[in-house]
Amino acid sequence: MEFREGLTFDDVLLVPKYSDITSRSQTNLSTKLSRNISINIPFVSANMDTVTESSMAVAMARAGGIGIIHRFLTIKEQANEVLKVKRSGSVMIENPYVIHLDKTVQDAINYAEEKEISGLLVTDSNSKLVGIVTDRDLLFETDTHLIKDVMTKDVVTAKPGVSLDEAKKILHKHRIEKLPIVDESGFIKGLITSKDITNIEDYPSASKDKKGRPLVGAAVGVKGDFMERTESLLEAGVDVLVVD
């Protein structure tokens, strides 16, 4: 590989000058990160353990850039960081976290803390939706109580294909924050939350994939577990792999 030119910070100086642009809204900073991926601002956060994990990657995506999750994590941990980013601003969460109705309150608390979420959909032995449990349901409950005894059973749902505007109206009408998407057989097809809708409206320039989820990258090495790590990251939905 031939490198024709290399620059450092001291080699670059931005000189103020007159511009005939009358409004900042007229500027377009979008650029190609790769042949198939575009970002809305030309900024990428470094794949360093002191710089980019899920929180930084979420912030970068919301601003229109992209963050690269560092590789100094276990394979599971790194993939989970990617999942956190992907779930942070989806139009619809395709695979929401669920818990079985026979699990305990402590099981739900542990799972929610691990995934850093505030609620879980509850399923029966046939994987059909039977309820929802949130922080509010678990507050002050005995740890050994079963989920089926503390969950909210009358769950407001929507059918697959519901529009964003329709989802907003349902959430507002019923004063709820989570709207499970359920098919005619009772199987969960997704989840729309009020927080995700708010994020979409608050960050109109966010960099997103074809499904409307935040863009995120991750670093892999060139030896050891790099193939297994790559497969796990791709399964988690990573958009960009950086060889580090």
Domain membership of residue 15 (yes or no) is: no
Indicate the number of domains in the chain.
Answer: 2
Integer angstrom CA distances of residue 9 from 14, 72, 191: 11, 27, 45
Task: Let me know whether 187 and 129 are in one domain.
Answer: yes
Range of 68's domain? 34-89+206-243
User: Which tens digit of pLDDT belongs to each residue from 135-171?
Assistant: 999 999 999 999 999 999 999 999 999 998 999 999 9
Domain membership of residue 69 (yes or no) is: yes
Confidence (pTM): 0.79
Task: Let me know whether 105 and 151 are in one domain.
Answer: yes
* Regions of the chain with pLDDT less than 70: 1-3
Task: Let me know whether 196 and 212 are in one domain.
Answer: no
Q: How confident is the model at residue 3, as a pLDDT? A: 65
**Beta-ladder partners of 44:** 66
Task: Let me know whether 53 and 107 are in one domain.
Answer: no
Task: Let me know whether 109 and 121 are in one domain.
Answer: yes
How many alpha carbons lie under 13 Å from residue 239 in its C-beta half-sphere?
A: 26
Helix (H) or strand (E) holding 81: helix 75-87
Domain membership of residue 162 (yes or no) is: yes
Q: How confident is the model at residue 2, as a pLDDT? A: 67
Q: What is the C-alpha to C-alpha distance for residues 199 and 169, in angstroms, rounded to an integer?
A: 17
Q: What is the C-alpha to C-alpha distance for residues 180 and 204, in angstroms, rounded to an integer?
A: 24
Beta carbons within 10 angstroms of residue 117's beta carbon: 18
Q: What is the C-alpha to C-alpha distance for residues 200 and 213, in angstroms, rounded to an integer?
A: 10
Task: Let me know whether 167 and 223 are in one domain.
Answer: no
Q: How confident is the model at residue 4, as a pLDDT? A: 74
Task: Let me know whether 106 and 191 are in one domain.
Answer: yes
Q: How confident is the model at residue 99, as a pLDDT? A: 97
Q: How confident is the model at residue 190, as a pLDDT? A: 95
Task: Let me know whether 157 and 116 are in one domain.
Answer: yes
Task: Let me know whether 177 and 106 are in one domain.
Answer: yes
What CATH number has the domain bearing residue 122?
3.10.580.10
Task: Let me know whether 74 and 166 are in one domain.
Answer: no
Q: How confident is the model at residue 1, as a pLDDT? A: 58
Task: Let me know whether 110 and 190 are in one domain.
Answer: yes
